[in-house]
Amino acid sequence: MPCELILGGARSGKSRHAESLAGAAGLAVCVIVTAEPLDEEMAARIARHQADRPAGWQVVESPRGLARTLAREARADRCVIVDCLTLWLANLLEGAETLPPGVGGEGLPQLLEERAALLELIPSLPGRVIFVANEVGLGLVPETALGRLFRDEAGRLNQAVAAACPRVTFVAAGLPLVLKG
């Protein structure tokens, strides 16, 4: 299986499911992490994820430049987990709060370039690649323009990655539901 997208809500078990698949793949594992420890709460979340991973897995930080990192790290003899696309997207939305009203992601050149590079790369990735992303469109409509932009861009990104991956799984309450593949 060349690539898979695993979607789910917060604390749904999506990362644990990705890690289980990677562990069962019988390949060396590399985890590309996109979170940045910008505050104590996020640092604690990152530490919890680190503690849950097997010690022998390689971890590469890539809050931006994900396509370049994937091109370098994906290999035929390796399983790569990207955890997660949603935090990577949030990193690319830096400066979005200054966009004029009504201007969406098209007003953020770095977002457009990085998303295009990722989507172009996905079909040619060697080995097994598991993308993890939050499904944020199932809840309330965010009350701020920036929140709505984030929700909309996350939905667009998830749809595009799902179209490029042969397998898509939704995880709720720790239970995987295969949507595609």
The predicted pLDDT at position 108 comes to 86
In a domain, residue 102? The reply is no
Cβ-Cβ contacts under 8 Å for 50 (sequence gap 6 or more): 59
177: β partners: 170
In a domain, residue 104? The reply is no
The predicted pLDDT at position 167 comes to 98
The per-residue pLDDT for range 42-95, each reduced to its tens digit, is: 888 888 888 888 989 999 999 999 999 999 999 999 999 999 999 999 999 987
The predicted pLDDT at position 105 comes to 77
The predicted pLDDT at position 139 comes to 82
In a domain, residue 103? The reply is no
**DSSP per residue, the chain:** --EEEEEE-TTSSHHHHHHHHHHHTTSEEEEEE-----SHHHHHHHHHHHHHS-TTSEEEE-SS-HHHHHHHH--TTEEEEEE-HHHHHHHHTTTGGGSPTT--GGG-HHHHHHHHHHHHHGGG--SEEEEEEE--TTSPPPSSHHHHHHHHHHHHHHHHHHHH-SEEEEEETTEEEEEE-
In a domain, residue 31? The reply is yes
Select which of 17, 49, 53, 128 is catalytic.
Answer: 49
Is position 95 annotated in a ligand binding site? no
Is position 11 annotated in a ligand binding site? yes
- pLDDT band, very low/low/confident/very high, at 1 (cuts 50, 70, 90): low
Q: Are 115 and 67 in contact (CB under 8 A)?
A: no
**Domain span including residue 142:** 3-97+109-180
In a domain, residue 41? The reply is yes
The per-residue pLDDT for range 94-128, each reduced to its tens digit, is: 878 777 677 777 788 899 999 999 999 999 999 99
Number of domains in the chain: 1
Task: Please state the length of the chain.
Answer: 181
CA distances from 127 to 4, 82, 152 (A): 11, 13, 30
Q: Is 17 a catalytic residue?
A: no
The per-residue pLDDT for range 4-19, each reduced to its tens digit, is: 999 999 889 999 999 9
Is position 15 annotated in a ligand binding site? yes
The predicted pLDDT at position 104 comes to 76
Which is higher by pLDDT, 114 or 2?
Answer: 114
**Predicted structure pTM score:** 0.94
In a domain, residue 165? The reply is yes
In a domain, residue 42? The reply is yes
In a domain, residue 84? The reply is yes
Read off the CATH number of the domain in which 37 is found. 3.40.50.300
